[in-house]
Structure formats: C-alpha cells, structure tokens
Chains A and B, each alone.
Chain A
Amino acid sequence: MNSFDSNPATNSLISSEADSQRTLYPYVTGTSVVGIKYKDGILLAADMGGSYGSTLRYKSVERLKPVGKHSLIGASGEISDFQEIMRYLDDLILSDNMWDDGNSLGPKEVHNYLTRVMYNRRNKFNPLWNSLVLGGVKNGQKYLGTVSMIGVHYEDNHVATGFGNHLARPLLRDEWRENLTFEEGVILLEKCMRVLLYRDRSAVNKLQIAKITEEGVTISPPYSLKTFWNFSAFENPTHGAEGSW
C-alpha cells in the first residue's frame, strides 16, 4: 500500500477524472452564522474562524458581507465557495445597477436567486458547500432567510446555520420577541455566540456583528466575548467517574 494509491485523486480505480471537476468535500470552513429580526432591521453574527479540518487555521475570515443596498449575507461552510458566491452576487448587483431605472433587487429577490443557484449546483452533483443566511430591509419590509447547500430554503424571524441550529435557535425560540431594540438584539446574539464558543469546537473567540436597516449596512469591527471557565462543575470533572483520570 503506497501513498500513490491512498490519494483518491490519483487512483483511477477509486475515482474518475471527472471527480476532480466537482466538490466532494470542503477544505477551509466557517462555522455557524446566527441571524435575528429586530425593530429597525436585521442583525447577523458570525465568528471569524476558518478551520482546516480540525485545525483552527485562519482567524480573520470575514463571513458577513453586504450585498447591494438592501441586503446582508452570512456564510458558513467552504470559504472558497463563499468567495465564488460573492462574485456571482457582485455581477448580479452590477447588472441590476446598470439598468439605472429606479428599480432594485431586494433581499427577497437575492435570497431566491441564491436558492436557484444552490439547487442547480446540487442537481449537477457539484454543490457550493455553504449554508447561507440572507437578511435585509426594503421599503420598510424586513426579510430574513436561509439557504443550504442542497437548496433547502425558508424564511423566519430568527435563523442559524450549522451548530447554531442546535445550540442557538432553542435560545432564540424562548427569548426572541418582536421589536427588540438594537441593544437587546446584540445581547441576545452574544448569548447565542457565547454558547457556541463554549460548545462548538470550530468556534473562535473573535466575532463580528452586522446590522442592516433601511439606512444601510454596518459591520462591527472584530471583538471578543468574555468567557468564564471556573464553574465548579468544570473543576475536577472526573470526580465521580470510577477508573477515569
């Protein structure tokens, strides 16, 4: 058994040449994105980590980006595919602006466009390995939606990707309400991000929070959450486990 055989790309018995033309597994990935609607618009939160497998390799990856005048996108999953998606969206917004006719694509339109792109790629067995959160405000209407790598899409008052679905959304189901103020929204998001930081091994303690309102987009500079590791339950964790150390 030599290293030549164990590398799937070079062993034509295991994989065909065509396989090298499509995504089989992600390499550099971002973890959860969490989004909520609040009084003036949408708040999104995501950390700045880019993992390379189990290594927390890149720690300044911006995973929240504005799209046109009315939308904000957050991505988890393969970072290079997110960069490709941003290229598609930049082209889309450019064409929309070139009409120069007073009409513009709002968050709902962008969300639907992304859904079509993700689903079509999935049908070709060459997915963009991302879960996306798309939020925005247009003409006073708030919009928050999500699309997965297989094209599953829906809108809600609060959405999350990856681990956020399991750890953050239960918190949001209990504590989210209509017309949160900005401060209340940030406190709620930080609570979710703190839980993710404690419990998600691919989370890093450096995050950004982005806000979009009718006026426009603001993405905060990176900052860290305060953590506390001295809970008595964390001391001597194997105290009651016979035979453990």
Chain B
Amino acid sequence: MSVNNFTEPKFLVGPILRVLNRVRRQYIQNPVSTLHTLCNDVVCKMFRNQYDTDVTTWSPAGRLFQVEYAMEAVKQGSAAIGLRSKSHVVLACVNKANSELSSHQKKIFKVDDHVGVAIAGLTADGRVLSRYMRNECINYFYTYESQLPVGRLVVQLADKAQVCTQRSWKRPYGVGLLVGGLDESGAHLYYNCPSGNYFEYQAFAIGSRSQAAKTYLERKFVSFMASSRENLIKDALFALRETLQGEKLTSSACTIAVVGVGEAFHILDQETVQALINEFEIAGEEAAAPDQAGVDEPSAADDQAAPVDQSAAPMDM
C-alpha cells in the first residue's frame, strides 16, 4: 500500500490530527476500510492517482491506470503508419537517429513472408513481441505447412498482452504494433494495443504527431481498398510527411515496407524510397510548411499533454 511512502513533514500535522480523530471513530465500526480511508484523505494530495501503483488495481471510475500509462508510452514513440488495399499492406515509419554518430532504431520487423509489423513505443518490448510472432508463424508452418492467418496471429498477440494486465508481478507491454499481413480473404491491417485490444483498420497511425497523419488518412481512406500498390506507397509517404511538421522528408529518415498477394514482406531499400519521394515530389517545399504547421500545432499539443483523467479512457474506444 502507498502508506509505505508516508512521511511526516510539519505542514501535514494539522490535517493528520483531524483525520486521526475521525479515524479513531471509524475504526470502531470498520477496521478494514479505515486504513483505506486514511490513505484517501491524507495521501491523495501527494499523488495524482493513488490507484495507479498496481496494474491489478481498479480506479473507482473503472479504469486501469497502469494500462493507460502504457498506452501513453506508445504515444511518445516516433510515428508509425499503416494502410491497406484489397491485396497489399504498406507500413511506414519515421526513423530518426539520436545523433549523427548512431544508427537508426529498427521499428519495422518482418515476421514471416506474409506478415510484418511496425512498432511505436518501447522498442525493446516490440522486439520481444516480434520474436514471439515469428515463433508462432514458424511453428504453425511446421505443423500445417501453410501460413498462419494474420487474423489469428493478432488474437494470440492480444491475448498475450492481456495477461500482463491481469498479473500483479507483470507490467503491460509499452508498445503499439501495426500488424500488416495476408490471410485467405486478402490483405489486412491490425493495431495491437498494450491493453490487449486489437482492431482492424483501413489505415492508421500511431506515435508522436500521428494525429496529423490520421487527418490526412481520414480524408483519403475511402479510395485505399481499390488502390494500386504504387498509389498506396505514395499515400503512405504523404501521410509520413504530415508527421514531420514541415521538415524535409528524406529516405534516410524513414522506412517503408510492403506485403501483398504474391509479394513477400520486405523493406524497401533506401534508393527505391528516395526515388519514390522524388517521383511523387513529396519532399515538401518551404512554402508549404506554414500550412502544415497551422494544422499540426494543435494536434501536437493533444498528443503530448493528453490529460488522462479528463478524456475517456483510450482503451474504452
């Protein structure tokens, strides 16, 4: 219980004495809840949420704050975008290195010939989950000589994430996964959340400044289902540019991957991506920057300062 952190600086003496009297009276009636009430009155001024220590503690409003904080970690990661047509899925992400000396963080993983994943959040957690997905795909292929349908893979992944929301000795995975893959009915894009929820999407974006990309995708998603492979990649690059807030889009700062019916999952190499950027003239002019900045600023504030207690809990959507 949080009582362990309780210390007695002078300014708390007044409230404590008042509370102690009340506690004395309450204790006679109900010893068990008295301790809880004590924490309530004295300690609540010190922590934002006193129900957020354990993932296995509910808040009175019916929320699991640790899970929501895990989803917060996803929002802090750099942007990842996915879109899909009937036969192809494109995953794109921003790959900024910490300094010129270091290499880029790997955010897109090939899981099998027919499935790939883009992550945002704690990349270590993402790497571990990618390894789990690779194992599942390979074991399925060993038994059935046929590819694990991506719809079944994401359910297994979601069930694995759910376990971490219901064990006091674990913590939720701090990574959001955009899973793109094929099954019998064509190409699919899913988003797997630290809460253990998963949804299928036509197009989606996660990570910091993803709202700008989502706005772009919302305008254009109706045409995606029938889109050609090239147009799908073009739209992915445009959406990616939206998240850069006026910065120049270059192939060194982004990664694109494609999977489709008859096309194994692979990451496009840098020359190909740069050629596509040049062809579609996506780099972004200086003149266009003010327009985008106007759209992006309010949404950037949203991403970073999302007050959890005011809006509806994200996992309730």
Q: Identify the A interface with B (CB < 8 A).
A: 99, 101-106, 108-109, 112-113, 116
Contacts and interface: CB of A to CB of B under 8 A. Distances in A.
Contacts of A99: 151-152, 155
Contact of A103 (B143, B145, B184): B184
A101 B145 contact: no
Interface in B131-165: 142-146, 149, 151-152, 155
B151 A109 contact: no
Contact of B143 (A102, A104, A113): A113
Interface in B163-218: 183-185
Given A102-B184, A102-B185, A108 B152 contact: no
Contacts of B155: 99
Nearest to B184: A103
Given A102-B184, A102-B185, A103-B184, A109 B146 contact: yes
Interface of B: 142-146, 149, 151-152, 155, 183-185
B184 A108 contact: no
B151 A101 contact: yes
Given A102-B184, A103-B183, A112 B146 contact: yes
Contacts of B185: 102-103
Nearest to A105: B144
Contacts of A102: 151, 183-185
A106 B146 CA distance: 9
Q: Which 7 A-B pairs give the minimum distances between C-beta atoms?
A: A109-B144, A112-B145, A103-B149, A109-B146, A103-B184, A101-B151, A112-B144
Contacts of A101: 149, 151-152
A112 B143 CA distance: 6
A112 B142 CA distance: 8
A22 B143 CA distance: 24
15 contacts: A102-B151, A103-B149, A103-B152, A103-B183, A103-B185, A104-B184, A105-B144, A108-B144, A108-B146, A109-B145, A109-B146, A112-B144, A112-B145, A112-B146, A113-B144
A103 B151 contact: yes
A99 B151 CA distance: 9
Most-contacted residue by chain B among A103, A105, A106 (CB, 10 A) = A103
Contacts of B144: 105, 108-109, 112-113
A165 B27 CA distance: 86
Given A101-B152, A102-B185, 15 more contacts: A99-B155, A101-B149, A102-B151, A102-B184, A103-B149, A103-B151, A103-B152, A103-B183, A106-B146, A108-B144, A108-B145, A109-B146, A112-B145, A112-B146, A113-B144
A105 B184 CA distance: 11
A156 B284 CA distance: 58
Nearest to A109: B144
Contacts of B146: 106, 108-109, 112
Contacts of A104: 184
A108 B144 CA distance: 7
A118 to B, nearest CB: 13
Nearest to A116: B143
B183 to A, nearest CB: 6
A101 to B, nearest CB: 5
B186 to A, nearest CB: 10
A105 B144 CA distance: 9
Contacts of B142: 116
B190 to A, nearest CB: 12
A11 B142 CA distance: 42
A190 to B, nearest CB: 33
B136 to A, nearest CB: 14
Nearest to B183: A103
Nearest to A102: B185
A68 to B, nearest CB: 13
Nearest to B155: A99
A102 B185 CA distance: 7
A109 B145 CA distance: 6
A170 B157 CA distance: 50
B240 to A, nearest CB: 31
Nearest to A110: B144
A108 B184 CA distance: 14
Contacts of B151: 99, 101-103
A92 to B, nearest CB: 10
Contacts of B145: 108-109, 112
Nearest to B145: A112
